[in-house]
A and B are shown apart, each in its own frame.
Chain A
């Protein structure tokens, strides 16, 4: 099989995998909609406890990591070394996780004490941002692997960078939904 055909297969496979991923997150989003429709007030008050500055900062950081990932793919396509862009991507990803972990710790006291609708809000918050973080950790593993092997990629062969990029962007897009769902809620309902 030619390299081009292999590359084609791998990217197609990644798209199919991302379709699975969308459906994997599906029940959580469905559960969120259901719970919020049932207890809208609990969700508004729950979102008041979110650290909006940290959340917004984190959103900006993650979007920037998508930019550097796109630049890494672009560099690989042109045959330039994608290494430093991959390094920056991993750095932004790590910072995001650090801030996220700090938020989790700060919110934990209130979450543990919450009852009723607010308890469900926190349950969904931890489940969804937690699953997102798990995906980000996997993404970091992928980026680290790509970084280590950056010298292998050139204009003719850079499929892993493209496929890793697709995955990274998917994880970022999930966050773009989570951010308004948990942090911006009060601004619409107040």
Chain B
């Protein structure tokens, strides 16, 4: 790990991190408000014959506070806010420097490729962790302000952050693996977004087509379920799945990156 690279990477993202962090805080605060405000309306819709599955979203549900929290993290807005760093910044971290030609000036110093990889990897994970923490802080503050904290086990909220971090660390690890594998940011970004999109597609497919809800098991999103966590139901298998999804791309990157030829940028 190079603290200089880590510090500089965080410095470059500071404005974006502040802006996205504030939006995440507001988005988090909105979720419990949504649940409290529209709960009666949703129940009325179901009684009126509206398909119940359409009021669920991925692994979330609008009928419980925990389920609503899950939707907050699985909604495209929630995903987009974290993905800016865990996918966008990660995919750009190495391939972007290669494309711009700045990587060779860095690597002409006593800095190994693995150290550089570890440093930019730590940077994007810290950024994702901050956004997740702010989103969760918004949710928690709103839950307490609305007085509905009795519906969940508040002591488990930090575990939501930990599991969220594992989920996004897996996406960041994949995006970084893509980033070290290409000389241009385009292919790295496309591959990373495709990975995110496929996972998202598998998760929401079951929402609209209940017969295909088995596909959710193959989505990383399905293994991060804040609604289950805040009721004390944390499945250790989910942690194992995330560990594998994090470690495999890291191994790929640590093997491939040092062995690649870094020809002069075009």
The answer to whether A and B belong to the same complex is no
Interface residue ranges, B against A (CB under 8 Å) = none
Name A's B-contacting residues (CB within 8 A).
none
